[in-house]
């Protein structure tokens, strides 16, 4: 990665921030995007000996995504890696979730990926670079009380798989990376049925994979040009395996696992089960 130019969306916290640190260690130049520019600039000041461009970006805006790519090219002259990492989660039963909030999740997760990819793709093809989508186990397994989140992650996987096939002979590398539950802010900002952030996580963050380890494994997958990456055994690899061969078992296990969350909407819908 030494001398490469890497764009990371959602770089102000969580996996995106850890990816920025990991790529900097490898000598890459960074173009970091997020809505919270002050956090990006704090990160910029913490990372030494790396050229960094920070851009305040709302990836639900096509024009903002186009500007991000233009500013990156103006600054660095090339793009070698685009990591579509920015994401928004939710936690509510579909029955209770407002459709405008559903659309908000799709706009951030799916259309943000589409917009950035659209404008970066010519430069990635030119450099024979890497196009990366950070999804989740929710992009392989439908998670109850996460309908919009799962839908957006499935959509990203289908979109990027198609881009890979359309560029089978151009030298473009496409990676779809699916972390399991990873300690980050995403559950704190997850939308509730009212459309407001829930403000606190319902899960035990300390027992989850750390963002630093997650970022390290993703960077290794990019360097080795893997096409897919599923992280964690129990929540990731085992779920994908069961989905292929024992889907009914996976349904039961997934329901029970998600229902154990503190104040789970599933407990309210099925009080007699718990």
3-state secondary structure of 102: helix
Q: How many CB atoms lie within 10 A of CB 225?
A: 11
Average per-residue pLDDT for the chain: 92
Q: Pull the structure tokens for residue 79.
A: 């793009």
Q: Pull the structure tokens for residue 48.
A: 């030494």
Contacts of 188 (CB under 8 A, 6+ apart): 197, 198, 199, 200, 201
Cα–Cα distance, 149 to 147 (Å, whole number): 6
pLDDT range class, residue 206, cuts 50, 70, 90: low
Cα–Cα distance, 43 to 253 (Å, whole number): 39
Q: Establish if 138 belongs to a structural domain.
A: yes
Using CB atoms within 10 Å of the CB of residue 189, give its burial: 0 to 12 exposed, 13 to 18 middle, 19+ buried: middle
CB 40 within 8 A of CB 10: no
Using CB atoms within 10 Å of the CB of residue 228, give its burial: 0 to 12 exposed, 13 to 18 middle, 19+ buried: middle
Q: Establish if 259 belongs to a structural domain.
A: no
* CATH code of the domain covering residue 105: 3.40.50.720
What is the span of the domain harbouring residue 161? 5-232
Q: Establish if 162 belongs to a structural domain.
A: yes
Q: Establish if 53 belongs to a structural domain.
A: yes
The DSSP 8-state label assigned to residue 139 in this structure reads G
Asked which of 150-154, 180-184, 249-253 is least confident by mean pLDDT, the reply is: 180-184
pLDDT at position 203 over 60? no
State CA 112 to chain mean position distance.
Answer: 11
pLDDT at residue number 69: 98
How large is the average pLDDT for residues 6-26? 95
Cα–Cα distance, 19 to 148 (Å, whole number): 25
- The torsion angles phi and psi of 9, rounded to 5 degrees, stand at -90, 155
pLDDT at residue number 233: 74
Contacts of 183 (CB under 8 A, 6+ apart): 205, 206, 208, 209, 210, 211
Asked which of 153-162, 204-213, 222-231 is least confident by mean pLDDT, the reply is: 204-213
pLDDT at position 232 over 90? no
Q: Establish if 237 belongs to a structural domain.
A: no
Report how many domains make up the chain: 1
- The torsion angles phi and psi of 128, rounded to 5 degrees, stand at 50, 45
Q: Establish if 185 belongs to a structural domain.
A: yes
CB 54 within 8 A of CB 227: no
As annotated, the active-site residues are 149
Q: Establish if 263 belongs to a structural domain.
A: no
CB 83 within 8 A of CB 112: no
How large is the average pLDDT for residues 234-252? 89
- Alpha-helical segments (H) within 128-264: 147-166, 211-223, 238-245, 247-259
The model's pTM is: 0.91
Q: Establish if 267 belongs to a structural domain.
A: no
Element (H, E) at 132: strand 130-134
């Amino acid at each position: 990665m030494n001398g490469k130019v890497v764009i990371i969306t959602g770089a102000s916290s969580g996996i995106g921030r850890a990816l920025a640190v990991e790529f900097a260690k490898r000598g890459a130049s960074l173009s970091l995007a997020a809505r919270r520019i002050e956090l990006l600039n704090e990160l910029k000041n913490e990372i030494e000996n790396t050229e960094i461009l920070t851009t305040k970006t709302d990836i639900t805006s096509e024009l903002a995504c186009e500007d991000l790519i233009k500013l990156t090219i103006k600054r660095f002259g090339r793009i070698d890696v685009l990591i579509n990492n920015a994401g928004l989660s939710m936690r509510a039963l579909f029955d209770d979730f407002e459709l405008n909030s559903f659309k908000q999740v799709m706009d951030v997760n799916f259309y943000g990926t589409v917009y950035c990819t659209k404008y970066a793709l010519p430069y990635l093809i030119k450099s024979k670079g890497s196009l990366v989508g950070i999804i989740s186990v929710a992009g392989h397994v439908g998670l109850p009380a996460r309908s919009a989140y799962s839908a957006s992650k499935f959509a990203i996987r289908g979109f990027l798989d198609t881009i890979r096939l359309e560029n089978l002979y151009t030298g473009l590398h496409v990676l779809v990376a699916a972390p399991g539950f990873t300690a980050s802010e995403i559950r704190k900002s997850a939308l509730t049925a009212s459309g407001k952030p829930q403000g606190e996580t319902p899960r035990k963050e300390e027992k989850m994979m750390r963002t630093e380890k997650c970022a390290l494994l993703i960077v290794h997958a990019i360097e080795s040009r893997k096409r897919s990456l599923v992280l964690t055994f129990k929540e990731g690899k085992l779920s994908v395996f069961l989905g292929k061969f024992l889907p009914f078992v996976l349904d039961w296990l997934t329901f029970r696992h998600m229902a154990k969350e503190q104040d789970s909407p599933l407990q309210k819908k099925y009080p007699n089960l718990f």
